[in-house]
Structure 1
Amino acid sequence: MVVTNERAPTSPLLTPSALTRLAREVLESNLANVWIEGELTNVSRPASGHLYFTLKDAGAQVRCAMFKPRSTWLPFKPADGLKVLARGRVSLYEARGEFQLIIEHMEQSGEGALRLAFEQLKTRLAAEGLFAESNKRPIPAMPQRIGIITSATGAALHDVLHVLGRRFPLIEVELLPTPVQGKEAPPAIIAMLDATARARRHDVLLLTRGGGSLEDLWAFNDEGVARAIARNPIPLVSAIGHEVDFSISDLVADLRAATPSAAAELLVPDAREINRRLQHDLGRLHQRMRRLLQAASQRNDHLLARLSQQRPQTRLDRGHQRLAQAQARMARLAQHEFAERRSRLLNLQTRLHSQHPGTRLAFRRDTLRGFHRRLENAQGQRIERRRARMQALGASLHALSPLATLSRGYAILLDEHSQSLVRSVQQAPAGTQLRAVLADGRLRLRVETGD
């Protein structure tokens, strides 16, 4: 479907889809985060886990949707007729063109209103700088007097006094009783804070009470209390409720403790730990004093020794000692010089004796005798070597001599006329005159016949 006009259009022509999309964008950009309080009706949770319902009051109603997983995080079960406080963004369901609210957070109305007031005050005071770290004052490490602003009958006071007595019994504690719940509590707390600021009697203040609901702790979310804490010149520790509880006073205070007992732990040191440290420091001091005394004693002994060295008798004794040492050195030098000269004289005598003609002649005679003995020995050894060699050569010659062969029964035949050696029967025909040489002589022979 297209929306038209008989006259020429003076603005862009839109489709329903474009128009609803444009409307959704306008709503979501201008109403991105709104708080709404009303009564639940038509509560529905389909299988998808999303939550659909309507918020109404006496004059109107708004369709709402809370998508998973936020719908599963609710600390209560939504039901028709329940009053709630919700936060979400305005949107448009384009398929039906219906205005709706997308819920991101929802809580029951009674406590939710207080939380909304808490968040608004917290945002405003933070913008003013009351929570800035630069405004925080340091808590004294060893306070002498602590002022406790709390109820005189509350359990928080008992816990704080028990911890303070256990950790540091010497601390001076002053109770500054004030109501900590109800309408009369904020002005009473403010008056007590201003009174301590004027008196300036305390080193540190502790503002505390035990746990409770948000309504029970609401006095510590009062703007006047927060500003009284901020203008008080005395460092202040806040310990309101349990560890999960946070208040405006905790944010303005110089230090926040999780519980009253934890605040007492932070305010004073442990006396046993201090005693251990003192004992340790005392031991170190004794050790230091002993070292100083030893050093002083050593310096005193040194000075006494120097003073003793400067006495006339001491100086005279040192002179006698140096004289005796000089005399001993002179005696040792004279003895050494005498021994050296005697050694030199003996050396010269030895050299002179070695150069005497008789000594040199005897030395040469001994040398000549030695040469003669060496020559005789060498000649005898040479004769013996020659004799042994001649005997060896004679033995070798005898072994090769024909006479040695003849002595074994052989004979040498010589031609009587030519004196040539007969080696064959052809050389000695019948009638030849021969001579036979035997080992012990010669024979004349004549050949009769030849074979």
Structure 2
Amino acid sequence: MLTHNPDLLIPPTVQTVAELTDYIRGILEQDPELIQICVTGEVSSVNPYPSGLFFTLSDPTTQATIQCVVWPSSLRKLVTTPSSGEQIIIIGRIQVYGARGIYRLTAWQVLPAGEGLQALRLKQLKDRLAVAGCFDPERKRPLPNHPQVIAVVTSMRAAAWGDIQRTLKNRYPGLKVLLSPALVQGELAPDSIVAALQRIQADGRAEVIILSRGGGAKEDLGCFNDERVVQAIAQCQIPIIAGIGHQRDETLADLAADICAHTPTAAAQLAVPSLADLDQEHQQRVARLQAALQTQWQTTHRIWQRQQQRLKRVGIQQTLHWEHQQLQRLKTQLQQAAFGQWQRESHHHQLLRERLQGLDPQAILNRGYAIACQASGRVISQASDLKSGELLTLHLAQGQVKVRVEKITPPAMA
């Protein structure tokens, strides 16, 4: 029920949205202070389209932003093209976009104004964290081949959470997925992300962590360039896959993570293998093994068949009998040759033994002969070597005899 309020003043006319927008456009676009203005700020979220170059100009100190556009007709005239992270000066005017009821700065000219404050701060932070070892490749840890539990740090309402769940379910059914919810945008996001990582480590079940959020404006990803988040990632005891933003985005969290996948879906694909792919590879290996076994069996079977044919052509008993006769013949020949050699060697040995016995001096002495030696020990072989009265030693078969030369008889003439 409507009640009458005498203090409520109703304007005489009711305007449509279009009429109100036109009224605002008239005020802003006709204001002499806004027809041509000069504005400086830092560029972020550059998005080139065929209809024009759209980007955001921000104030690093107050975080205030304004949407800007350069129409295609003005692009070729620019001194410098807006690039993310740069500090620039824009000359242009304020215009109202009626379809959405928003105002934006239409740029006629863009001039360089040095490196943006946010980009400079980010570079200084990156250098400091690099010196601290947060980005060292040696610190990166490998992922487990078949994890059973994976934890995800992202917003429960983010599309990234749904993408990750679907990807993990399709690739690795039966995997346990834990969600440690966190804010992924805004001033409270860094502390929220750090707390989510600490919860996972305290829980102790997860083998891999996926830190993720979907794409967005560069300023929306600022929490992933926060020093607290980077330090928490570097100090985490569980391998972390960063799936943040889109392919063109790169944050300090990406550099600190063990693996950077850039997108939530890609992070999930890296976290686990595809069971379908593994099954296909297994089936291929089984097929190759079966083919190898079949080839080996066929080769062995052909060899066996050839041997069977040979056995049919030559009876095995006949062959064995012939081989036995050959062995007996060779055995007899060997025995005969060995016995003949033994007889020859035995006869030769006997001849040498008899010859040695005939040359043995003791044998000569045993037959009654003696050996005469002078006092110097020289053996006497002829009488002319002796002198009358000289003492000689006669060596007999048994003992020795000392004799004196009484008479020397020269040998008879032949």
Structure of higher CA gyration radius: 1
Q: TM-score by structure 2 length?
A: 0.46
**Greater helix content:** 1
Q: TM-score by structure 1 length?
A: 0.43
Higher relative contact order, chain-length normalized (CA < 8 Å, sep 6+): 2
